Amino acid sequence: MEFDLPVAPLFRPIDVAPAYQKVADAIEREIVNGRIKPGDPIGTEHDLVRQFGVNRSTIREGIRVLEEGGLIRRDSSRRLHACLPRYSKLASRLSRALVLHEVTFRELYEASMTLEVASIEGAVERATEENIAELAGNLARSEAVVGDAAMLAECDAEFHVLVAKASQNRVLQLAREPAAQLFYPTTEMIVTGVAEGGPRLVAAHRHLIDAIRRRDREAGVLWTRRHLQDWRRGFEKIASLDRSVEHMYMEHAQATRRR
């Protein structure tokens, strides 16, 4: 007697998106592809009910999704307008995704080496006097708080944002932001656990600003690599490189609560 063995299915069940998500996706596509530009009116909820052929509660839920993502806003008359997305919110969402995927410090370090080197190369070439002044101001604040791990970690995160800003490349600034939001807890823990961590961090920033002032690409790349290698060595003194960033977040949160 022959028995038919179960065969693995070729296809998975179709996941049908709810109507409100289809509404949000349709409007988002028009904004992202440029057919609806920032500031352009989208209409009212009543207009959208008529155009999409769905009920008002569906439209309202779709609008809520878009408002949370910063893609639309309401004016005083309740009319809807397109706007540029709030990239800080998008970056936070992507950062959470990185945490949920349990990315490791090793992955974060490797990606940062590529992104931060690209940032310093752009900054050396295109930084303005205003950019350099902002970096110098950050350095002065860092020197003043070198003994405070939490404050120094905040200054460090801001410093790298300013370097990316000085690159004058918005794509690069946005690309590095999700991973950069994961720097803070690791930097604070390294500075707390490694005595020479704070002074070495500040010294690296000083060399990087000097390289930008002198338009010295080679020095800028050299000190960026040294700075990140210090970050890695400091991390290795307190944890495995293959530790997930999620665990670092948990430890950072617990340590913060105990203070």
Percent share of the chain, pLDDT over 70: 81
Residues 129 and 253 in one domain: yes
Report if residue 7 sits inside a domain: no
Residues 112 and 70 in one domain: no
Residues 24 and 136 in one domain: no
Query: For residues 164 and 171, what is the distance between their CA atoms, to the nearest angstrom?
Result: 10
Q: Is the pLDDT of residue 88 over 60?
A: no
pLDDT score, position 30: 83
Domain total in the chain = 2
pLDDT score, position 101: 64
Report if residue 12 sits inside a domain: no
pTM for this prediction: 0.65
Residues 110 and 214 in one domain: yes
Q: How far is CA 138 from the centre of its chain?
A: 20
Report, as an integer, the average pLDDT of 95-117.
81
Residues 47 and 113 in one domain: no
pLDDT score, position 223: 97
Report if residue 189 sits inside a domain: yes
251 Cβ partners below 8 Å, 6+ apart?
Answer: 185, 189
Last residue in a domain, options 82, 104, 120: 82
Report, as an integer, the average pLDDT of 47-68.
91
Q: Which of 29-33, 101-105, 149-153 has the lowest mean pLDDT?
A: 29-33
Residues 239 and 187 in one domain: yes
Q: Which of 52-61, 181-190, 244-253 has the lowest mean pLDDT?
A: 244-253
Q: Which amino acid does the sequence have at 90?
A: L
Kindly report, residue by residue over 166-176, the tens digit of the pLDDT. 999 999 988 88
pLDDT score, position 7: 61
The candidate with the shortest Cα–Cα distance to 49, out of 70, 71, 73, 20, is: 20
Residue 64's domain is classified under what CATH number?
1.10.10.10
Query: For residues 166 and 173, what is the distance between their CA atoms, to the nearest angstrom?
Result: 9
Query: For residues 91 and 97, what is the distance between their CA atoms, to the nearest angstrom?
Result: 10
The candidate with the shortest Cα–Cα distance to 245, out of 149, 112, 117, 151, is: 112
Which residues form the domain of 30? 19-82
pLDDT score, position 86: 53
Residues 103 and 136 in one domain: yes
Residue 186's domain is classified under what CATH number?
1.20.120.530
Residues 66 and 96 in one domain: no
